Structure 1
Amino acid sequence: MAQAAYDLLTAEARNDPYPVLDRLRNDRSVTFSEQLQAWIVTNYADVRSGLADPAISADRISPRLAQFPESERARFVPLYEVLRRWPLMLDHGEHARLRMPITRAMTPAIVAGFRQLIRDTVRSMLREGVERGGMDIIAELALPLPLYVTSRLLGVPDDTVDLLKRCAVDIVDFFGAEPQAYLPRAETAMETVLQTSDLLRPMVRARREQPRHDLLSALAGDPALSDDDIVAVCLMMVFAGFETTSNLIGNEILLLLRHPEQLAAVRRDRELIRGAVKETLRYESPVQRISRLTTADITLRNIRIEKGSLVYFHAGAANRDPAVFPDPDLFDIRRGSDRHLAFGFSVHTCPGSTLSQVEAGIVLDELCRLAPTVRLTGEPLRWRMNLSVRSLESLPVAFV
């Protein structure tokens, strides 16, 4: 089959990547992409095992910087120094050292304490839209909600939210770019990452002196963590808590509006909300691919991948593998999709996964309560041109 059949960079593939991903999974489930200068793995079993393989590192910044022209690499060391400290990019002891404070601060009991805040915020946002007769779900709900919740979790002031948003968007735009766009995207990301780091550092020092009841204080109270460690963890929480959740909320509402019989079922039985969230995570994975770096030569499907290679374990493809999910292109909220890989797998599973699903579930519950009728306006929908995430630019709906 012609190479064009596997092209993930066309406008058609970016709007609907699944036909290309299906062909890759069926024909060459482990393949090297000259376009992306990386290996792509699309089979569920290989993605799941690869994400747990100790010979494959979570470091996803080093291999990208290695693709920069050698003369440019030193310029981006400040960006590297921040991102390399993210627990999602660390392995073994270093990962455990920085992940543990987050785990302690994100227990189910603590997350449950945010439910009323989330519900009140969602209710206020939706009521405004219902009173007007319509809203853009992305701009007026899916984007501001998780950012507000994450800022409350961290304990940062409201006037920092716009910068936190720009920082998260710039980072995901860098990670989701094709190689020829790395340099300009990295420049933009480095600028906002450093601005946000400079903003957070005095807050860390203040929390060491006067702790509060927030994640920033919990981190600052750990003597094993440096100021730079804490700043990096906060940036990662903003990135993970904002981007994944906003995409999940937008994709969830789009899918249910496109499948009105399933939305009607949720309205009748709220116990189906959990299944609707899980099936959205499987069917339209908010994070499509998960980057890894091989630290030794490995073999997948009798194909040798050399040490030091960048590998994209494609959750979006794995979550539609018919060997695991029968009729994978069918959206079915009763399916039982707990085996999805949308949040990763093993020790590097997204630390905000529980909070993200709580937010998406409350949004759906409140939508059913406050909006007896809701429909798409018919305006063309545009997906963001990003290879790493699956997110809509806008989602206009009418409440009529």
Structure 2
Amino acid sequence: MSDPSDLPRLLVQHAAACPFDPPDELARLRAERPVTPMIYPGGHEGWLVTEHALVREVLADPRFSHRAELLRNPLPGASLSAEPRPAPPGAFTAMDPPEHTRYRRLLTGQFTVRRMRRWTTRIEEIAAELLTAMERHGPPADLVEMFAGPLPGLVICELLGVPTGDREEFVRGMSVLGRLDVPAGEKMAAFGKMQSFMLDLVRAKRERPTDDLLGGLIDSSDLTDGELAVIGGILTGAGFDTTANMIALGVFALLDHPAQLAALRSDPALIGNAVEELLRYLSIIPATVRAALEDVELGGELIKAGQSVTVSVPAANRDPKHFPDPGTLDLRRPTSAHVAFGHGVHQCLGQQLARVEMQVAIPALFDRFPSLRLAVPPEEVPTREDMMIYGVHSLPVTWDLPREEARS
């Protein structure tokens, strides 16, 4: 059995043989003791859960809290000095019902499937503009820099109504917050700057109403400027880095699995199912945490009140009890309750937007560049073990130019 104090490293590592696979130790834990003791950075005694059914049980059970002041950060490099504090007004993702319910209900109307589908045309336009710029740039190119990163960044900026001239700096500031190797003080400074920007944006929209998500919340709720600024920051963080890395890592995985890519290209209607399988197979969110509000029996173990429980998303999504042959990327696999977007009342609010962006971006990329391939050996692609959201720092790609261009 692994050393409990050594387990946090498993949350951000991947198998040596494959950048898409979680470490083998997670599979061993899932088979031997799916609820296992773990020592968190700073010495907190808690638990790590790796089995799919038990992960869903934790995420759906109201006896496990998501309140910020109760949680311990399980990731390596977590600040050891800062004590957990209550979430500020508006930070609904770090609250329990009924506070969480109040905010969530206000936002749900902004993220309906119908509304996200209406965004499809605009996302297609943004994708086409980025791909045209990439085509003009010519091969080789960094897919993260030229396409996977800008696309969700531009979409979330338009969704929130961020002015065009502020978007580049806004997106750059958000990227600092996801790094594990950035000191806590630097992160706090970046967070403060982003919140100040968001507060100014909300105040400007109160003076001049706009037809966007923040404008809609201002018009339909009694939220304060501070609450709206916090909500805007949360939506930006959740909708930018995650989708950018799913697009980039998803393309990397498809290029590394040419038979699966060929299947997708021969059957465009497969894209919806393909996105779900990529979400399951890649599982870029390493973990999420809950705190026991009372003593709870889970998987034959007694979780004591006050202890933190970390659930491993990659381990759950590779559980052979639920997903036959889970280590195989199979775009035709029936979609069945992966936890890439979480589960329960805190399931990702923007999941429909993420799905639409991926369903647009991936086919558009391969339609524009049918000969797209890696420009470096797969083992030279730099992966993000130093980030809270897994992915690639860059994805060098190349493609064949039309014959007349190649001659010139």
- Whether TM-score is above 0.5 comes out as yes
Paired residues in the alignment total 386
2:70 and 2:306 in contact (8 A); partners too: no
Aligned pair in 2 of structure 1 residues 263, 12: CA closer, same or farther (>3 Å)?
Answer: closer
After superposing the two structures, state which structure 1 stretch, 220-229 or 112-121, moved more. Answer: 220-229
TM-score, length of structure 1 as denominator length: 0.88
Q: Of 150, 153, 167, which aligns to 2:156?
A: 150
Corresponding residue of 1:390: 390
What are the within-5 Å matches in structure 2 for residues 270-349 of structure 1?
270-349=268-347
Residue 59 of structure 2: aligned partner:
51
Distance in 1, matches of 2:159 and 2:2, equals 49
CA contact (8 A) 2:286 2:314 kept: yes
Percentage of matched positions with identical amino acids:
32
- Structural mapping, 1:50-89, within 5 Å: 50-60=58-68, 62-64=70-72, 73=83, 81-82=87-88, 85-89=90-94
Tell me, in whole angstroms, the C-alpha distance in 1 between the residues paired with 2:382 and 2:28. 23
1:105-120 matches, within 5 Å, as 105-120=110-125
Q: 1:8 to 1:58 in 2, by over 3 A?
A: same
Please tell me the residue identity of whatever aligns with 2:213: L
- The 2-side partners of 1:69 and 1:365 are apart by 44
Q: More helix by proportion, 1 or 2? A: 1
Match of 2:106 among 101, 112, 126: 101
Amino acid in the other structure paired with 1:143 = G
The amino acid of 1:249's aligned partner reads I
Q: CA deviation at 1:167?
A: 4.3
TM-score w.r.t. the length of structure 2 is: 0.87
Structure 1 residue 381: Cα displacement: 1.5
Q: Are positions 1:250 and 2:248 aligned together?
A: yes
Q: Which amino acid aligns with 1:266?
A: L
In the TM superposition, residue 368 of structure 1 has moved relative to its aligned partner by 2.7
**Alignment check: 8 A CA contact 1:87 1:99 kept:** yes
SS in 2 for 1:339: coil
The answer to whether the Cα contact below 8 Å between 1:290 and 1:388 also exists between their aligned partners in 2 is no
Per-residue CA distance 1:254-288 (angstroms, 9 max, x = gap): 11111111111111110111111111100001212
| Distance apart, 1:371 and its partner CA | 1.1
Give the match for residue 184 of structure 2.
186
Q: What is the RMSD of the two structures over their aligned residues, measured on CA atoms?
A: 2.6
Q: Are the counterparts in 2 of residues 60 and 293 from structure 1 also a CA contact under 8 Å?
A: no
Flag the 1:94–1:242 CA change in 2: closer, same or farther, 3 A.
same
| Structure 1 residue 206: Cα displacement | 2.8
User: Deviation string for 1:87-128 (max 9, x for gaps)?
Assistant: 221111111111122211112222122212211121222233
Matched, 1:127 2:127: no
Amino acid at match of 2:96: D
Partner of residue 3, structure 2:
3
| Deviation larger for 320-329 or 383-392 | 383-392
* Cα distance in 2 for residues equivalent to 1:266 and 1:310: 41
What is the alpha-carbon distance in structure 1 between the residues aligned to residue 12 and residue 343 of structure 2? 29
Farther-moved stretch of structure 1 (264-273 vs 125-134): 125-134
3-state SS of the aligned residue for 1:105? coil
Going from structure 1 to structure 2, the CA distance change for 1:246 and 1:341 (only over 3 Å counts) comes to same
Determine if contact 1:289/1:388 at 8 Å carries over to the other structure.
Answer: no
